[in-house]
Amino acid sequence: MIQISVVVPVFNEEESIPELAQWIGRVMNTHGFSYEVILINDGSTDRSWEVIQGLTTKNNSLKGLNFTRNFGKSAALDAGFRRAVGDVVITMDADLQDSPDEIPGLYDMITVGGLDVVSGWKKERHDPISKTIPSKFFNGVTRWISGIQLHDFNCGLKAYRNKVVKNIQVYGEMHRYIPLLAKWNGYGKIGEKIVQHQPRKYGYSKFGFERFLNGFLDLITVSFVHRYKKKPMHFFGLLGTLSFLSGFGITAWLIFEKIYSLSKGLKVREIVDQPLFFLALVALIIGVQLFVTGFIAELMTSNQSKEIEYKIDEEVNFDF
């Protein structure tokens, strides 16, 4: 029986992988944990996969997945989650900036503390200001929208009860919002642990400023999907109703104005010559279209699931 599964996405980290594997093994052996480490090579262009293959031949606790190309961190985590068998699943980055020494504490917070999710908080960061300032802003907005009071949604070092990762699906850039996905799926016992953040030892950061923009877009997406996935008509129907009533109200007013003016013997323009008429017409059409969109969305969401967005080329040390 495996107590801990460590899921590690890898992208061009050939220098750090051996040291990370040794560090994790040392921590696990010191504390007597049974464990597995799942290394997912996310389309690396260096020798990362060759390094992973070499390590797995020497240690059966190390397992490797190789993507056919770069599908992103969320896809790598999802693939690891699907194969993890440990009671507690811990995620960390491969760049040695997440310390494996935090694993026992995270494990205890799940097994002893009774939490479903524990998120690491890099209170003291070894990153340039170009990353720390946008990160603080991003985390503040995410706390406000999600209602989850975590300081560091971006921290790769997190721990989950196994049943949590088996009941969520991570895609796009949703890896930042796994605590939010867990909460919406009924796993609301979410905690936080201050963790040590290591200076980068090898290579350079693979993430640019665009990840924050993508993160905000995905936050909007995940919020919308959660609220309206099972009831899209509530969203489209409301907008359609407002649009249709606005168009109908403007049309009614134009007709009333013309009838009233004619009854008083006043000269008035034809309804079709007034700009408001075309605005009303557009509002009516949009209202009907939104209604139709809502109906179609209701039909489509009845029994749909998201298609897996990644392809695995090779696997090593897995029993299935």
Per residue in 47-58, pLDDT (tens digit) is: 999 999 999 999
Q: How far is CA 180 from CA 118, 167, 171, in A?
A: 12, 13, 14
Give pLDDT tens digits for 173-182.
778 888 888 8
- Cα 196 from Cα 120, distance rounded (Å): 9
65 beta partners: 40, 315
pLDDT bracket for residue 148 (50, 70, 90): confident
Q: Which residue has the higher pLDDT, 64 or 131?
A: 64
Give pLDDT tens digits for 85-135.
999 999 999 988 899 999 999 999 999 999 999 999 887 766 666 566 667
Contact predicate 100/21, CB 8 Å: no
pLDDT at residue 147 tops 70: yes
**Helices within the chain (DSSP H only):** 17-31, 48-58, 73-83, 103-111, 129-146, 162-166, 178-184, 210-228, 232-263, 275-300
Q: Which residue has the higher pLDDT, 106 or 258?
A: 106
Identity of residue 177: Y
Q: Which residue has the higher pLDDT, 90 or 151?
A: 90
Identity of residue 212: F
Write the CB contacts of 31 (distance below 8 Å, at least 6 apart in sequence): 103, 104
Across the range 176-198, mean pLDDT stands at: 87
- Cα 99 from Cα 200, distance rounded (Å): 11
* Residue 147, phi-psi category: left (phi > 0), alpha (psi -120 to 50), beta (remainder): left
Q: What is the DSSP letter of 224?
A: H
- Cα 294 from Cα 280, distance rounded (Å): 21
pLDDT at residue 200 tops 60: yes
pLDDT at residue 65 tops 90: yes
